[in-house]
Structure 1
Amino acid sequence: MTNNNIPPSLNSTAPAGEQQKTAESLVDLRIKHPRVAGIMGEIDALVYPGSQDSLVQICGPTGVGKSALVRHVVDSIVSKAHTEMQENAGLVPAVYVEAPSSGEQEFSWRLFYHRILEQLDGEVIDMLPRSSYQYDPQLGRVVKPQRATGSLAALRTAVERSLEARGTRVLVVDEAAHIIQQTSPKRLESQLNTLKSLANACGAQMVLVGSYDLYQLLALSAQIARRTHVLHFERYREDRPEDVRIFAACVSGFEQALAHLWGGKLLAYTATLHENSLGCVGTLNAVLTRTARRMEATGLPLQEALHRSLLTEAQRQQILAETYDGETAINPGITRAIPKFVRPRSSIPTPV
Structure 2
Amino acid sequence: MMERLFPEELLNSTPAEKSNYFKMLTVSHPAFEEAYNDLLDRIYRGTENSIILVYGPTGAGKSTLIKKVKEKIIKDNLSVLDKDKGLIPYLAVESVPPDSGSFDWKDFYYRALIEANEQLIDYKILLENKNMDKKVKDENRSALRRSLENVLIYRKPKAFIIDEAQHITMTISGRNLRNQVNILKSLGNITKVPIILTGTYDLLAYRDLNGQTIRRGTDIELRRYQANNQSDIESFINVLLAFQKHLPLELEPNLIDYWDYFYSRTIGCVGILKDWLYLTLQSSLRANPLTKTLELTDFKRYELSSERCMKLLTEASYGESKLKVSDAADLELYQKLGLVQIEQENEVTVDENVKKRNKSNKKGRPVGQRKPKRDQVGNTMADAQ
How far 1:254 moved relative to its partner? Answer: 2.0
Give the aligned partner of residue 103 of structure 1.
99
Query: Any residues of structure 2 matched to 1:272-311 within 5 Å, and which?
Result: 272-299=261-288, 301-311=294-304
| Alignment partner of 1:204 is 2:193 | yes
| Alignment partner of 1:113 is 2:106 | no
Task: Report the Cα distance in structure 2 between the residues aligned to 1:62 and 1:124, rounded to whole angstroms.
Answer: 37
Give the aligned partner of residue 61 of structure 1.
57
Query: Any residues of structure 2 matched to 1:1-352 within 5 Å, and which?
Result: 2=2, 21-48=17-44, 51=47, 54-125=50-121, 128=124, 150-260=139-249, 263-299=252-288, 301-332=294-325
Bigger Rg, structure 1 or 2: 2
Give the aligned partner of residue 132 of structure 2.
none
- Secondary structure of the structure 2 residue equivalent to 1:100: coil
Q: Which consecutive unaligned segments of at least 5 residues does structure 2 have?
A: 6-12, 126-136, 334-338, 340-349, 355-366, 378-385
Q: Which consecutive unaligned segments of at least 5 residues does structure 1 have?
A: 7-16, 130-147
How far 1:288 moved relative to its partner? Answer: 0.9
Alignment-mate amino acid for residue 156 of structure 1: R
| 2:15 and 2:285 in contact (8 A); partners too | no
Alignment-mate amino acid for residue 145 of structure 2: R
Q: Percent identity?
A: 26
Q: 1:114 to 1:26 in 2, by over 3 A?
A: farther
Q: 1:198 to 1:149 in 2, by over 3 A?
A: closer
Task: Report the Cα distance in structure 2 between the residues aligned to 1:92 and 1:19, rounded to whole angstroms.
Answer: 37
| 2:49 and 2:189 in contact (8 A); partners too | no
Q: 1:262 to 1:69 in 2, by over 3 A?
A: farther
Task: Report the Cα distance in structure 1 between the residues aligned to 2:325 and 2:251, rounded to whole angstroms.
Answer: 42
Task: Report the Cα distance in structure 2 between the residues aligned to 1:56 and 1:114, rounded to whole angstroms.
Answer: 22
Task: Report the Cα distance in structure 2 between the residues aligned to 1:205 and 1:37, rounded to whole angstroms.
Answer: 21
- Secondary structure of the structure 2 residue equivalent to 1:57: strand
How far 1:266 moved relative to its partner? Answer: 3.0
How far 1:173 moved relative to its partner? Answer: 1.0
Alignment-mate amino acid for residue 34 of structure 1: P
How far 1:119 moved relative to its partner? Answer: 2.2
Task: Report the Cα distance in structure 2 between the residues aligned to 1:121 and 1:346, rounded to whole angstroms.
Answer: 73
| 1:99 and 1:173 in contact (8 A); partners too | yes
Task: Report the Cα distance in structure 2 between the residues aligned to 1:180 and 1:20, rounded to whole angstroms.
Answer: 40
| 1:288 and 1:306 in contact (8 A); partners too | yes
| 1:21 and 1:258 in contact (8 A); partners too | no
Q: 1:223 to 1:262 in 2, by over 3 A?
A: farther
Kindly tell me the number of residue pairs found equivalent between the two proteins: 320
TM score, norm. by length of structure 2: 0.72
Indicate the larger mover: 256-265 or 319-328: 256-265
Give the aligned partner of residue 143 of structure 1.
none
| 1:171 and 1:205 in contact (8 A); partners too | yes
Give per-residue Cα distances to partners, 1:4-27, cap 9 Å, x unaligned. Answer: 9x9xxxxxxxxxx97884324433
| 1:71 and 1:96 in contact (8 A); partners too | no
Task: Report the Cα distance in structure 2 between the residues aligned to 1:323 and 1:262, rounded to whole angstroms.
Answer: 36
Q: 1:172 to 1:19 in 2, by over 3 A?
A: farther
TM score, norm. by length of structure 1: 0.79
How far 1:332 moved relative to its partner? Answer: 2.7
| Root mean square deviation of aligned Cα | 3.6
How far 1:186 moved relative to its partner? Answer: 1.2
- Secondary structure of the structure 2 residue equivalent to 1:207: strand
| 2:94 and 2:165 in contact (8 A); partners too | yes
Q: 1:247 to 1:262 in 2, by over 3 A?
A: farther
| 1:174 and 1:208 in contact (8 A); partners too | yes
Give per-residue Cα distances to partners, 1:179-235, cap 9 Å, x unaligned. Answer: 111352111111111011112211101111111121135424454334321122111
| 2:49 and 2:188 in contact (8 A); partners too | no
| 1:212 and 1:330 in contact (8 A); partners too | no
How far 1:72 moved relative to its partner? Answer: 1.5
